[in-house]
C-alpha cells in the first residue's frame, strides 16, 4: 500500500467539482440506459418525424424560386408548376406530421404506463419498514407525479429539439452558400443566447425539484385530510381540514408561478436578442440586395432559413426546463427503484409443522427493545395465546412471524428452516391473518374476500359466510356478494368487517390461523361461537391468538411477551 504521506490530496473545491461532473455523466448515462428499451418502440414515430422534418427543409427554397425565377424573370409558365409542387409537398409533409403526432402520443402514454406498472411491481415487494416511513398519499404522488415527469423523454418534443440542432448545422451550410458575410453577421448574437441559457439553469433546476416534491406532499395532504374526515367532522374542525389543504394547494401554485416567471423572463430576454439579430439581418440583408451581392429571393430564403438557426436556441429555455424536469423525475424514480426488496429466500413451505423463536429480539432505531430474548416452540395442532401488557410487542411479534419485519436479534424458524431462507410469498399463502384494524377495499364483497383468487365458487363463499355468521347480512344486500363496499367499509360495522376478514382468511384454507385482536369488535357470545368453529375446522393445524380478553376453554398454550 502507498505510504499515507505520498498520497495526493485534491482541494475540496476540486473534489466537489469532480463529484458533480461524475454524477452528471452517470445521470445522463443512466437515463440513456433506462429509456433505451422503451425507445425501441419509438422507431416508427421517429421515422415519421424525420421524413416530415426533411420535407420542411425545402420550404424556403420555394420562396426563392418564386421571386427569382417567376417574378423577377416574369416566367409565369413556371408559376402553376411551382404552386402545384409546393402544395403537394405541404400535403405530404402534413401527412407525415399527422402520423408522427398520433404514433408519438400512443408511444408516450404506453411507455409512461409501463414504467408506472413496473415501479408498482417493485414497490409492492418493498419491506414493511418502507411503508411505515412513507405516507401512502406521498408515495402515490411520487409514483404518478414523478413518472409522469418523464413524459418529455418520450415525447416528439425531445426528438424535434434534437432534430432542430441537426437542422442548425445543415441550415448553417445552406446559409453560407447563400451569403457568407450575412451568415457571420446573423450568428454574432449566438454567444449572448448561450450565456442566457447557461445562467438560467440553476433557477430551472431549483424550481423543478420543488415542483416534484410539492406535488408528492400535496397528494399526501389531500389523502391524509380526506381519510381523516370523520375525525374532523366529529370535532367540528372541517375548517382546519380546508385550511391544511388550501395551504398545500397554494404552496404548489406558488412554485408553478415561480417556474413560469423563470420561463417568461428567459423567453423575453432571448426574444429580444433574436429580434436584434433580425434587425441586423434586415439592415445588412437589404444592403446586400442593393449592392447586388444577394438576390431578393435569396434574401427571403435566407430569412426563412435563419429561423431554423435561431429556433433551437430560442426554444432552449422551455426545452431545458422540461428536460431538467424529466431528469429530476428520473432521479426520483430511480431513487425508488434502487430500494432493495424484502429479503426473501427461495425455500418453499407447503406444510407448517413447527414454528420456533430462538433468542428473538426486535429493536427500534432508537435502540429501545420491544421484544427481548424470546424463546418458544409451537407445534402443529397447538393453540397458542400470546399475552403481554399494552405496548409489550404482541402485534410486533405477529409481524415478525409473517416476515413483515426482520428480527434484530436471534431468528425465527419454520420446520427447522430459518425465516430468511424461506420464500415469504409462499409462506404467507399458508397463513390466515386477521388483525384488529380490518381494511376493506372499495370493491365488491366477493373481491374483498377472494383478493383475486377466482378459483373460489360462490357456493363455497356462501358456506363460509354461514360459518362466520355473515350470510344473512350479505344476502340482504340487493347485489349479494357483488355489492360494492363503501370506502373503508363504512356500510359494515366493526364486527362485520372482522368477520369479512375472517372469511378472507378461511378461503385460503391456511396452515396457520393468526387472530391479532381479530374478534375484538364482536360480542362475547359471537366471538366464542366463531372461535369454536375455527378450533373445529383447524384443530389439526396451528392457531395463534392475541387478545386482551379473558380466554375460556382448555388447551391454550401461553407465550408471554
Between CA 10 and CA 328 the distance in angstroms is 29
Share of the chain above pLDDT 70, in %: 87
**Domains in the chain, start-ordered, CATH in brackets?**
111-337 (1.20.1560.10), 354-560 (3.40.50.300)
Between CA 461 and CA 453 the distance in angstroms is 12
Per DSSP, 444 falls in state B
Rounded to an integer, the average pLDDT of 302-316 is 75
Lowest mean pLDDT, pick from 25-34, 103-112, 337-346, 494-503: 25-34
Degrees (nearest 5) of the Cα angle 542, 545, 548? 165
Statement: residue 412 has pLDDT above 90: yes
Contact 57, 307 (CB under 8 A): no
Question: How much of the chain is in helix, strand and coil states, percent to nearest 5?
Answer: 65, 10, 20
Count of other CB atoms within 10 angstroms of residue 482: 14
Q: Per residue in 70-92, pLDDT tens?
A: 888 788 778 888 888 889 998 99
| Assessment of whether the complete model's pTM goes beyond 0.85 | no
To the nearest whole number, what is the mean pLDDT of the chain? 80
Statement: residue 15 has pLDDT above 50: no
The per-residue pLDDT for 16 is: 40
Distance of CA 204 to the CA centre of its chain: 22
Rounded to an integer, the average pLDDT of 126-133 is 83
Statement: residue 9 has pLDDT above 50: no
For residue 141, name the pLDDT band (cuts at 50, 70, 90): confident
Between CA 253 and CA 190 the distance in angstroms is 34
The per-residue pLDDT for 552 is: 60
Statement: residue 150 has pLDDT above 60: yes
Cell digits for 263?
A: 420561463
Rounded to an integer, the average pLDDT of 157-177 is 75
- The SS3 assignment for 559 reads strand
Cell digits for 357?
A: 423463536
The per-residue pLDDT for 551 is: 61
Q: Per residue in 104-122, pLDDT tens?
A: 888 888 888 888 888 888 8
Report which of 330, 404, 400 is spatially closest to residue 126, judged by C-alpha positions: 404
Residue with cell 391544511: 244
Between CA 337 and CA 38 the distance in angstroms is 17
Lowest mean pLDDT, pick from 242-246, 346-350, 365-369, 476-480: 365-369
- The SS3 assignment for 369 reads strand
Between CA 60 and CA 48 the distance in angstroms is 21
Strand positions, DSSP E, 186-279: none
For residue 144, name the pLDDT band (cuts at 50, 70, 90): confident
Q: Per residue in 493-544, pLDDT tens?
A: 888 888 888 888 888 888 999 888 766 666 777 777 778 888 888 888 999 9
Between CA 270 and CA 197 the distance in angstroms is 9
Rounded to an integer, the average pLDDT of 186-201 is 77
Q: Per residue in 423-444, pLDDT tens?
A: 988 898 898 888 877 888 888 8
Q: Which residues pair with 411 in a beta bridge?
A: 358
Q: Which residues pair with 560 in a beta bridge?
A: 387
The per-residue pLDDT for 275 is: 83
The per-residue pLDDT for 21 is: 40
Instruction: Between 357 and 112, name the one with better pLDDT.
Output: 357
Statement: residue 14 has pLDDT above 60: no
Rounded to an integer, the average pLDDT of 465-469 is 86
Statement: residue 292 has pLDDT above 50: yes
Contact 523, 336 (CB under 8 A): no
Amino acid at each position: 500500500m502507498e505510504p499515507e504521506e505520498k498520497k495526493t490530496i485534491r482541494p475540496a473545491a476540486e473534489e466537489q467539482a469532480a463529484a458533480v461532473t461524475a454524477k452528471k455523466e452517470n445521470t445522463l448515462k443512466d437515463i440513456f440506459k433506462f429509456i433505451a428499451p422503451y425507445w425501441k418502440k419509438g422507431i416508427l414515430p421517429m421515422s415519421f418525424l424525420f421524413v416530415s422534418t426533411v420535407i420542411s427543409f425545402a420550404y424556403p427554397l420555394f420562396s426563392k424560386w418564386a421571386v427569382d425565377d417567376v417574378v423577377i424573370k416574369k416566367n409565369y409558365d413556371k408559376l402553376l408548376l411551382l404552386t402545384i409542387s409546393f402544395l403537394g409537398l405541404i400535403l405530404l409533409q402534413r401527412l407525415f406530421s399527422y402520423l408522427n403526432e398520433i404514433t408519438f402520443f400512443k408511444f408516450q402514454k404506453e411507455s409512461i404506463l409501463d414504467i408506472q406498472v413496473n415501479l408498482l411491481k417493485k414497490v409492492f415487494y418493498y419491506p414493511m419498514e418502507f411503508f411505515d416511513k412513507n405516507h401512502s398519499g406521498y408515495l402515490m404522488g411520487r409514483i404518478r407525479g414523478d413518472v409522469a415527469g418523464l413524459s418529455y423523454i418520450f415525447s416528439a418534443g425531445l426528438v424535434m429539439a434534437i432534430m432542430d440542432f441537426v437542422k442548425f448545422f445543415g441550415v448553417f451550410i445552406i446559409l453560407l452558400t447563400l451569403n457568407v458575410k450575412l451568415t457571420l453577421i446573423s450568428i454574432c448574437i449566438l454567444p449572448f443566447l448561450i450565456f442566457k441559457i447557461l445562467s438560467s439553469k440553476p433557477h430551472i433546476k431549483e424550481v423543478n425539484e420543488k415542483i416534484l416534491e410539492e406535488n408528492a406532499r400535496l397528494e399526501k395532504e389531500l389523502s391524509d385530510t380526506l381519510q381523516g374526515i370523520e375525525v374532523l367532522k366529529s370535532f367540528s374542525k372541517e375548517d382546519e381540514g380546508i385550511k391544511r389543504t388550501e395551504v398545500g394547494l397554494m404552496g404548489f401554485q406558488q412554485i408553478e408561478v415561480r417556474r413560469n416567471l423563470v420561463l417568461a423572463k428567459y423567453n423575453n430576454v432571448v426574444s429580444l436578442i433574436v429580434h436584434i439579430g433580425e434587425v441586423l439581418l434586415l439592415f445588412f440583408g437589404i444592403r446586400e440586395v442593393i449592392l447586388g451581392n444577394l438576390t431578393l429571393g435569396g434574401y427571403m430564403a435566407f430569412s426563412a432559413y435563419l429561423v431554423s438557426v435561431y429556433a433551437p436556441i430560442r426554444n432552449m429555455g422551455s426545452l431545458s426546463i422540461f428536460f431538467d424536469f424529466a431528469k429530476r423525475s428520473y432521479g426520483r424514480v430511480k431513487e425508488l427503484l434502487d430500494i432493495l426488496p424484502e429479503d426473501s429466500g427461495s425455500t418453499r413451505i407447503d406444510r407448517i409443522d413447527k414454528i420456533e423463536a430462538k433468542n428473538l429480539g426486535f429493536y427500534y432505531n432508537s435502540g429501545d427493545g420491544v421484544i427481548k430474548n424470546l424463546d418458544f416452540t409451537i407445534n402443529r395442532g397447538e393453540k397458542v395465546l400470546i399475552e403481554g401488557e399494552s405496548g409489550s410487542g404482541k402485534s410486533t411479534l405477529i409481524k415478525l412471524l409473517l416476515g413483515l419485519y426482520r428480527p434484530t436479534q436471534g431468528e425465527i424458524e419454520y420446520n427447522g428452516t430459518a425465516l430468511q431462507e424461506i420464500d415469504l410469498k409462499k409462506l404467507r399463502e399458508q397463513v390466515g391473518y386477521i388483525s384488529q384494524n380490518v381494511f376493506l377495499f372499495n370493491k365488491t364483497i366477493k373481491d374483498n374476500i377472494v383478493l383475486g383468487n377466482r378459483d373460489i365458487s360462490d357456493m363455497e363463499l356462501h358456506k363460509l359466510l354461514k360459518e362466520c355468521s355473515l350470510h344473512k347480512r350479505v344476502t340482504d344486500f340487493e347485489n349479494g356478494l357483488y355489492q360494492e363496499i363503501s370506502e373503508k367499509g363504512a356500510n359494515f360495522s366493526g364486527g362485520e368487517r372482522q368477520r369479512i376478514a375472517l372469511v378472507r382468511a378461511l378461503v385460503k384454507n391456511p396452515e396457520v390461523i393468526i387472530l391479532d385482536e381479530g374478534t375484538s369488535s364482536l360480542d362475547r357470545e359471537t366471538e366464542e361461537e366463531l372461535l369454536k368453529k375455527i378450533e373445529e375446522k383447524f384443530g389439526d393445524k396451528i392457531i395463534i391468538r392475541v387478545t386482551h380478553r379473558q380466554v375460556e376453554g382448555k388447551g391454550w398454550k401461553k407465550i408471554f411477551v
